[in-house]
Amino acid sequence: MSIQDDLQATVGALVQKGKGILAADESQPTIAKRFKAIGVESSDENRRAYRTLLLTTPGVGEFLSGVILFEETLLQKADEGTLLPVVAQRQGIVPGVKVDKGTVPLSGAPGDLVTQGLDGLSERLKIYKSQGARFAKWREVYPITDRNPTALGIEVNAETLARYAAVCQEQGIVPIVEPEVLLDGDHSLQRCAEATESVLHAVFHALHRHRVMLEYMLLKPSMVLPGKEHARKAAPEEVARETVKVLRRTVPAAVPSINFLSGGQTAEQATANLNAMNALFPQPPWELSFSYARALQQPVLDVWRGRPENVAAAQRVFHFRAALTGAARRGQYRPEMERTA
């Protein structure tokens, strides 16, 4: 199989009607924070047990086409000894892996950040591929303040994402390109729209310069939202219209799918906003899907709390959340469905 056939097969498996991607790739500090909030220690065994819970949830492959794992999970096993990437595959869920190494301040651009991990990336990808990963994820973050993101921040982050994506495709790994404009702050929805448009514009220019094949990548952006501290909340229809407007201006139709992150929205908000996009725009140039971590997992963590006796109930919650998000992917979610839990 040529590399392009390989990439196409992975894209075909990831982009399916009614399905999206679970992000379960929290780095060690992030998973420690999530576990601490429910009184659970972040030990190897607890992370293994929790991610096993997610991947062994009966029937969840009906709504999930892919899962992004943290590198340690590639080597961990379910209780009966099957490697977790194999458990995912048996559910029809393609395993992928987060390959970035987190952010550092960007020198020369106070307030902006840049993501590390390009050194040695192609060697690491070869190893991850041999362990079952078929796609990868890399996240750049953009804080909004009066001065950020700066022009330099936008340029350097775009260049970094493009370099990562090019290396992935060379190795036959489908890159998920994740530019996340952060929700923190009191900025307006309009300010977020402007920042997101500038960010995506630069990202696609850089992808072009680095000869990234747009057909064989997925975009994982943030939605266009008012800042968390902004006085006025935005209704799902407004979020949908503004988000799709920015995407239409910046994302070429060659990109097969846009899989949003949830970015600190509640599960209900993230579901309602995705639903509004699919309901208002039934035939967009790309698929409008999800790649949520918190909006799929927070309700599960709240029920699990690290206790083996809660696993079955937590799996029911996960299946329910995945089903509702799958409905939003088709534009068929209604808030009343939340009460059928």
* Stretch of 143-151, 160-168, 191-199, 289-297 lying at the interface with ligand 13P (CB under 6 A): 289-297
The one catalytic residue among 19, 98, 137, 220: 220
| Contact between 324 and ligand 13P per CB under 6 A | no
Q: How far is CA 206 from CA 57, 160, 242, 261, in A?
A: 39, 9, 24, 21
One of 67, 125, 247, 261 touching ligand 13P (CB under 6 A): 261
One of 53, 154, 199, 295 touching ligand 13P (CB under 6 A): 295
Smallest separation (angstroms) from ligand 13P to the CB of 109: 21
Which residues have CB under 8 Å from 303's CB, separation 6+? 310, 313, 314, 317
CB 314 within 8 A of CB 304: yes
CB 60 within 8 A of CB 16: no
- Cβ proximity to ligand 13P, 260 vs 286, nearer residue: 260
Give the distance, in angstroms, between the CA of residue 154 and the centroid of all CA atoms in the same chain: 20
SS3 content of the chain, % helix, strand, coil (to 5): 50, 15, 35
The one catalytic residue among 26, 140, 159, 178: 178
Site string for ligand 13P, 131-150 (x = CB under 6 A): --------x-----------
- Cβ proximity to ligand 13P, 6 vs 164, nearer residue: 164
The owner of tokens 């799929």 is: 296
| Contact between 221 and ligand 13P per CB under 6 A | no
Does the annotation mark 178 as catalytic? yes
CB 55 within 8 A of CB 67: yes
Cross-strand partners of 105: 113
| Contact between 263 and ligand 13P per CB under 6 A | yes
Q: Which residues bind ligand 13P (CB under 6 A)?
A: 23, 139, 178, 261-263, 292-295
Catalytic residues: 178, 220
